[in-house]
Structure 1
């Protein structure tokens, strides 16, 4: 192992930032971060690694940093704390330094199950070598994390290939998610998808209370960021993180607005009333255009339609003429809706099993105009036959009232 200072390479120091479990209000572990100096002056991790790469000592320097982090961590950590170590995929996949790094860690005295190997977001020209390296580390008992998911190369394909224990979401995702109800819902769906794959989720870059609340509301497992704790060289793991207002977070979450179910939104009340008028008028025998006039007068109403009890559409859509600027070019065939089969749509299936009840769908992409929409639907009986009435609301417009 190299002596960084003896070779004129950047001096190594370690800082640690807590990674917190939201359910427990305590640190599940700490991420080790390089605090380097060169020529007596602080330099960023990027600058330090650029220097050692030019010197041809990147792999050795990465290993030196890793061992320094481990030794510092073992001075303060209790037996339950995990250590998150950032490692470049080039080093992990290197035929010399990859195995040597594993040996360094195994000989360091830290239990492998307490070490999370955090694969940095970076291109790797030999992806199978990276998969093999990760599998080898997992075989020793180390945990695997992917850093900066949603930025650059850390994508769903890499998750499938490496099967990590932890995925850390890039900070830009939470920054953008707090800006709108639609973005927040997308983040929730992303967390659900990654949970389905079988991984814990860390939301990185939490700097505000609003971001913290949204992370909790999205059911993220862990959080990390300045709001909960800044990186520090001297860590006292025995001191509770009393600056973190976890109890307040619990209480405020009850009033959180961002991620209420669409069906619970107060803003849908006028659409529900107008849809009820449409249902009653159509069941009395009024023509669909006249029956739907009150609904189509609502601000973000898009269209109404009728399906038979097999999901086949009866007649064409009756469209609002208020939202032409929102309509997007689509395949000409999709503009002809009569006879189309919508039996797999959730709004149709839910209406069948809850007859007479107004169903509110979750947002989905409408094939009629390629917009996100929310559909109100209800199963009614007319002349001894079942029909499902549907009415679409432009979700992208409705979101303007929810941001």
Structure 2
């Protein structure tokens, strides 16, 4: 710590100018790296008292806002957290501190807070500014404020993604280092296999943007397992550790024992990629028979009879090497009720062009191989399907053969 402690001066200012503001205490909750089985850092949380009774952070900041001292109170809380963090942190730990967008864009408090954090002696690269979920009337101003913090070396996190205002557009605008997923997402994901796969795809999407992912609110082993299976970078929640005012780095985290990277997390496999599902093996074999028979000259309906006999097979189809569909879909008699197109035009199959579908592109770059798409909404029905596809050459012409499987039916055995 430097000789000048800005925390002392700002706290004295609050006591002098607004003595009725809630008293400040800090609690810390670990943010756990699943890959390392250890805390990458700690989120600081306010534990306030007002008029000799505990009060929630929302109530404490409400008192500060009504007193016209919100900015000063936010600064005092942040510096209190940093001061406490410096007492127990090792050289690798980072601190997550919550800040309201109003403070980050304030012409007085924002630069003053950044200066005070730097003067505190904690390296900016070990402080993650966690932007709270709140409406910001001037989003461009928030983008500028975040860029100034980034230029000074601070890391940026977005809180509560998937709830309210924190959406994909905000991620693109602010380019955070970390995105924290709202706890409701993991709660709903464990209740439905389809939701769980959607969470996996969301994590993939955010990783593609270039951010680390924290799944918050982990309270059960099932939620912890699913978070690992979704390839989340970090987790946080009562299952691992509750917030506490006293941190001892020597104490193990609660919940799943993490020594040696506990196998129950590192080997979670509820959400295997579609192509790795054992349940698809009969469909793969039958699709291979369809491909061989069709290439040998058999009519498509005869070539596909073994594939279409599989329980959840929906259809086969043929595309030319530009993605244009050749002829109509060939479908079994069953599952007729599952083949109602959402929009009438989409029931028109022949002549449609599917060159932008991932299965078509993948089949072209892996000729002869049977590829399996991830689940997606088929235009020919209102349900998720996976498509088996293969690029073949017959009489010098290229084609892509496709076979759709109702994923919602297949996944009943996976839930």
| Alignment partner of 2:63 out of 41, 51, 60 | 51
CA-to-aligned-CA distance 1:11-55 (integer Å, 9 cap, x gap) = 211100011222222211111101111221111111211222222
Shift of 1:386: 4.4
| Alignment partner of 1:272 out of 284, 288, 302 | 284
Q: CA RMSD in A?
A: 2.5
CA contact (8 A) 2:85 2:95 kept: yes
Indicate the SS of the match to 1:318.
coil
Shift of 1:155: 0.9
Shift of 1:331: 3.6
Structure 1 CA distance for aligned equivalents of residues 50 and 254 of structure 2: 35
- Confirm or deny that 1:333 pairs with 2:345: yes
- Confirm or deny that 1:99 pairs with 2:115: no
CA contact (8 A) 1:4 1:10 kept: no
CA-to-aligned-CA distance 1:68-99 (integer Å, 9 cap, x gap) = 11111122112322111101111111222222
| Alignment partner of 1:357 out of 347, 369, 373 | 369
Moved more, 192-201 or 85-94: 192-201
Structure 2 CA distance for aligned equivalents of residues 148 and 112 of structure 1: 23
CA contact (8 A) 2:240 2:254 kept: no
Structure 1 CA distance for aligned equivalents of residues 55 and 218 of structure 2: 24
Shift of 1:325: 4.3
Structure 2 CA distance for aligned equivalents of residues 302 and 376 of structure 1: 11
Question: Which structure 2 residue ranges, 5 or more long, are not aligned?
Answer: 1-9
Report how many residues are paired.
403
Aligned to 1:109: 121
- Confirm or deny that 1:345 pairs with 2:364: no
CA-to-aligned-CA distance 1:182-226 (integer Å, 9 cap, x gap) = 323322222222222222211111122222222222222211111
Aligned to 1:3: 14
CA-to-aligned-CA distance 1:85-138 (integer Å, 9 cap, x gap) = 101111111222222222222222222121111000110111122112111212
Moved more, 84-93 or 21-30: 21-30
Aligned to 2:166: 154
Moved more, 163-172 or 386-395: 386-395
Where in structure 2 are the equivalents of 1:147-226 lying within 5 Å?
A: 147-226=159-238
Structure 1 CA distance for aligned equivalents of residues 93 and 398 of structure 2: 60
Structure 2 CA distance for aligned equivalents of residues 355 and 114 of structure 1: 48
Distance change (3 Å), C-alpha of 1:393 and 1:84:
same
Distance change (3 Å), C-alpha of 1:141 and 1:10:
same
Structure 2 CA distance for aligned equivalents of residues 389 and 198 of structure 1: 35
Shift of 1:316: 0.7
Aligned to 1:136: 148
Aligned to 1:373: 385
Indicate the SS of the match to 1:147.
strand
Aligned to 1:71: 83
Distance change (3 Å), C-alpha of 1:251 and 1:152:
same
Structure 2 CA distance for aligned equivalents of residues 250 and 236 of structure 1: 21
Question: Which structure 1 residue ranges, 5 or more long, are not aligned?
Answer: none
Distance change (3 Å), C-alpha of 1:349 and 1:93:
closer
TM-score scaled to structure 1, two decimals?
Answer: 0.91
Structure 1 CA distance for aligned equivalents of residues 36 and 400 of structure 2: 46
Structure 2 CA distance for aligned equivalents of residues 250 and 181 of structure 1: 24
CA-to-aligned-CA distance 1:127-165 (integer Å, 9 cap, x gap) = 122112111212221111111111111111111111111
CA contact (8 A) 2:37 2:261 kept: no
| Alignment partner of 1:305 out of 314, 317, 340 | 317
Distance change (3 Å), C-alpha of 1:385 and 1:77:
closer
CA contact (8 A) 2:341 2:379 kept: no
CA contact (8 A) 2:224 2:265 kept: no
Structure 2 CA distance for aligned equivalents of residues 290 and 390 of structure 1: 15
